[in-house]
Structure 1
């Protein structure tokens, strides 16, 4: 009898508990209401039900995927058990003008995502609801919504709203500015060596020098445009894929082969049968050289090309949002031409000032062979341990000094002596464990001085979106997330210049500093970058004290300490 009574009360208790929980349909009653100028999303919550603020999102699903959440006026959530939540019913207005400003279409599919829990202890799975809205013809894009945007979004919007020719001229100007960055510098010795090599075989006129440079720059521009369109349409960052250690090692080996060719050990030529076919035309000899230069320009753009910068990211965001590969690709192409302008000037100058072929030209070619070896080491810097790279630099400097010693000119002797001394210093530094070629004796300076010079910001690494969200929830301060990669030149600049500046360190002392190392470019890395619209490193994302992302403060590309502080002071 006692067992029956116990069993009866057990069933009553279980059924009572089960009935105390609401079904998902009872807990969350969402509805969509279309008005003349906007879509209203209504969310009615059941008893003791709350929503997680960070799980709420409103997106355009078609004609292209765009997250609108950050641009909507959501009510302020409240803290609850270490989370930020909503306990009251929600009413979210999505203006048609905002939809129109993102992508021009007559019909949109809007997706509403949310997740919530019951105070009684039950958490519901993430849910998603969608509806289709048709936009009246009198609706125009709301430009007022885009006043306080970050650089990338501002540039993307300029593509949508600007005159075609003005857009192209603007991007050409962006290219000129990018040509002054360290990311383009490695192309200068590559092109110079090509021109010098050409000058050995025939007289190099101004016209010929410009023509060779133009072929190189056009090939470079074509490669960058194709890679950009692929990245914009499919979200595949071709440059990131080409930073794979195996790819970098292969191309470093190619530069070594080019170096030994310039030293005169062998000649790089097309097969004789192919040469004979080409030489049957009147331009046979020119075609041979042009073909090789075009390939080198194409590969140089992909391997040692520019870092991610706001103009590039803006064009890719525009292509991704609108699918307009023509305008986006054209903008990338003229931007690449702007970047290549200094290279064209090198071609003009070489054709005008380079002496006639002879013994002097042979020596210059061999010096450029040394430069090719330097580029190979620079590429391996992103693959090998820093200490091994130091040894390679030491061997190159010492070998170059021994090689140049054969020349009798007093200036060459002086340069040789300096290179020899510095090579010895770098070798000694490598033996001591130093890893900075610009400061090879760092291990021999006082520990206090070294610590002051090397001390930068300390970041906590996050590997995926879940870890990031957990750190943001725990933080009581504004949050900064830095996207970093070992092969990213501008990321290294951030580390060595901006993040070591005392004013920057002082300003960021009140921030929670997080870093996502996307060197491996694995699935977690891709999802993190996609989540925040980061095309590739460097990129920096900020959240305020209320744990709201500050989209207008997002940084893409390198910024020096002054520029970085201007962003921080404007938004924090």
Structure 2
């Protein structure tokens, strides 16, 4: 127990004598003993517990603040009397330091405390602190005095205050909390938040509007992740073809396309946070993938000149006041479909947003933040689409422009087929690619005769279409004999890691019995970043060597089941991939999204694993 608490016990022995002395001293402060005799009654003091950080990391520190709200024209007596105290016992691997009382105000010949009084207690967590949510009892005491009318000091009061907190694994990033309460008081200063996720959580904790700026910036950065790449050629293909050589029209179409992305992406995020489902899981449905592919295919066929896509004439007239303008329904629909495509794109910022919405239940504010993030995500496509529209505005019109438009249509068809890569069996998938490539080469004149006056450009174009035809033939062969090519291609590749798949209880028991660390990879088949982690990180020999003494566990969250819901709650999963490092019952570190091999090894080095 701290020195100040031992001093309180010593001074507490003399408290009755101090009260009696106050009673017999004329002209000094009276003490109210019998409130039922018609005298003044104590208004009481509200005492609440607050933490300076969102959680306490093992091998880390935080600060507990006990906030005493003293009523107007009252004060708490000097801490030297031993009646104003805060007591805690070390528990759960937490070591509580001596309480730090603020500087009091002069009152007669003593010191008193008025208004909001914050008593700060430094807290240090050991390496084996018990990870989880806890409620810590804190004993507090005070004596309150009335300053108006007859100056009266009421009998000392004491109570137990509950301080709820969460202990997290060592190295887990936490951010400052309750900054308004802790600002200006002496004690430990929380570390400045580092990284975009930490800055976002700090802004959310203090209710700052800068959270919107951070969310927008996070969306911009997320637009450069690999799972967004399939949408780029789709954007170029549609906007470039539909802009009709008008740069401003290209800008307008790009804006509507980005708006469609933002509407769907933010709505999916809000649904995931409100219902507890995994963000992006809707894209795992084969039906959804087929619908998205059909949308892209219809857009592509339209670009090839088969038909035009627009709202019904009656609805179009009512929307634009009789104008004959059309074509804005297409980019909105395509943008919304693209929002579904990018739903599996998660990272630290979107995971932090989803967790915050789920915890606070503030759906409107959460949707606004998610929509802002989505606008940042769509900014790249606004720029790309405008640029594609500008290409059509080049001074060379005629057949060249029509060829470019049809080329964009073929790009959309390729994008539609790419969306089915996880839905179709491999043999059928390659057969479809073969049909698409062969059809493209035939319609592009691969077998048309060239005249003697053919230009070099025409000859190069014919050679290109013949190469595409040959590639289509290779894919057709691969669809019937998948191992004929794959067998030679895989020679010399790295051996894959062995994982325990969905055997969570056995893996944890094995790790506990043998005192081994655990590597948990939470994945889904529809998660592009999960595949990237498998193909670019887990196959690296240096990584495999570092984790060979780990119990390696994969949790497959492709389909929502009661077991998946249980694991999701247990490990607090909001997006994929999520990788967790733990030892025993203690989580050491985690990250969400793709992490290259060198960064993963650096994470292991940071925690001496």
TM over 0.5: yes
* Residue deviations 1:277-305 (CA, integer Å, cap 9, x gap): 456524x41xx322332222123112344
Match of 1:421 in 2: 470
| Map of 1:263 onto structure 2 | 304
Where 2:554 maps in the other structure, the secondary structure is strand
Q: Residue 503 of structure 1 aligns with which residue?
A: 542
2: CA distance, partners of 1:371 / 1:527: 42
2:452 counterpart of 1:412: no
2:561 to 505, 522, 525: 522
Q: Name 1:568's counterpart in structure 2.
A: 604
441, 445, 463: which one aligns with 2:485: 441
Q: Is the 8 A contact 2:241 2:408 kept in 1?
A: no
Equivalent residue for 1:554, pick from 583, 590, 601? 590
CA distance in structure 2 between the partners assigned to 1:75 and 1:292 by the alignment: 57
- Tell me how far 1:206 sits from its aligned partner: 2.3
1:397 aligns with 437
Provide the residue aligned with 1:194 in structure 2: 238
**Contact 1:319 1:325 (8 Å CA) reproduced:** yes
Deviation at 1:482, TM superposition (A): 0.4
Aligned to 1:309: 347
Contact 2:251 2:382 in 1 (8 A): yes
**Superimposed CA distance per residue, residues 134-178 of structure 1 (whole angstroms, 9 cap, x where no aligned partner):** x9x967899979869997973552233467354333333322222
Aligned equivalent of 1:350: 388
Answering whether residue 154 of structure 2 is matched by residue 154 of structure 1, we say no
**How big is each residue's C-alpha offset from its partner over 1:521-562, in whole Å with a ceiling of 9 and x where there is no partner?**
222123212322221211111112x44211xx2010011112
Distance in 1 between residues matched to 2:138 and 2:591, nearest whole Å: 27
Change (3 A) 1:72 1:515: farther
* Matches of 1:291 and 1:194, distance apart in 2: 12
Separation of aligned partners in 1, 2:275 and 2:528: 25
CA–CA distance in 2 between the matches of 1:217 and 1:456?
A: 39
Shift, 1:459, TM fit: 0.9
Native 8 Å contact 1:152 1:556 kept in 2: no
- Determine whether 1:537 maps to 2:576: yes
Q: Distance in 2 between matches of 1:458 and 1:146?
A: 42
Name the SS for the 1:542 alignment partner. Answer: strand
Whole-angstrom distance in 1 between the partners of 2:243 and 2:90: 73
Higher helix share: 1
Q: Check 1:142–1:372 CA distance in 2 against 1; reply closer, same or farther (3 A cut).
A: farther
Tell me the equivalent position of 1:173: 217
1:211 is aligned to 252
In the other structure, the counterpart of 1:340 is: 378
1:374 and 2:414 correspond = yes
Counterpart in the other structure of 2:283: 242
Given the superposition, is the C-alpha separation of residues 186 and 246 from structure 1 closer, same or farther in structure 2, using an over 3 Å criterion? same
How far apart, CA to CA, are the structure 1 residues paired with 2:189 and 2:545?
33
Quick one: distance in 2 between partners of 1:378 and 1:430? 16
Mapped to 2, the partners of 1:375 and 1:330 lie a distance apart of 30
1:184 aligned onto 2:220: no
The answer to whether the 8 Å contact 2:521/2:553 transfers is: yes
| Cα distance change on mapping 1:39 and 1:510 into 2, 3 Å | farther
Larger Rg: 2
1:221 counterpart = 2:270: no
CA distance in 2, matches of 1:559, 1:432: 34
**Count of aligned pairs:** 451
For residue 289 of structure 1, give the secondary structure of its aligned residue in structure 2: coil
- How big is the shift at 1:491? 0.6
Structure 2's unaligned 5+ residue stretches are 1-48, 50-63, 67-85, 94-122, 140-160, 167-177, 451-457
Distance 1:417 1:76 in 2: 66
Match of 2:492 among 442, 446, 452: 452
Show CA shifts across 1:164-204 (max 9, x none).
3543333333222222222112222222233234234xxx3
* Distance in 2 of aligned mates of 1:181 and 1:192: 18
The SS at the match of 2:284 is: coil
Cα distance change of structure 1 residues 175 and 92 upon mapping to structure 2, 3 Å threshold: closer
Counterparts of 2:186 and 2:334 in 1: how far apart (Å)? 45
Q: Does 1:485 align with 2:524?
A: yes
Q: CA deviation at 1:316?
A: 1.0
Name the counterpart of 1:23: none
1:117-128 aligned at under 5 Å gives the runs none
Give the Cα–Cα distance (whole angstroms) in 1 for the partners of residues 187 and 335 of structure 2: 40
- 1:536–1:92: structure 2 CA closer, same or farther, 3 Å change rule? closer
Native 8 Å contact 1:228 1:316 kept in 2: yes
How big is the shift at 1:476? Answer: 3.2
1:418-437 deviation per Cα after TM superposition (whole angstroms, max 9, x unaligned): 32233333333333324xxx
| Counterparts of 1:173 and 1:250, CA distance in 2 | 31
Pair 270,507 (structure 1): closer, same or farther in 2 beyond 3 Å: same
**Could you list the per-position Cα deviations for residues 382-426 of structure 1 after superposition, in whole angstroms to 9, with x for gaps in the alignment?**
112223322222332233222323587233223223322333333
Task: Give the equivalent residue in structure 2 for 1:26.
Answer: none
Q: Relative to structure 1, is the Cα distance of residues 258 and 146 closer, same or farther in structure 2, using a 3 angstrom cutoff? A: farther
Render the CA deviation track for 1:191-240: whole Å, top value 9, x for unaligned: 2233234234xxx3322211111111122123222222232233233531
RMSD: 4.0
Q: SS where residue 423 of structure 2 aligns?
A: coil
- The 3 A distance-change label for structure 1 pair 146 and 182 is farther
1:494 Cα offset (Å): 0.6
Task: Summarize the Cα distance change of 1:74–1:189 in structure 2 as closer, same or farther, 3 Å threshold.
Answer: same
Contact residue 398 and residue 419 of structure 1 kept, 8 A: yes
Could you state the TM-score of these two structures normalised by the residue count of structure 2?
Answer: 0.64
Partner of 1:80: none
1:252–1:380 Cα contact (<8 Å) kept: yes
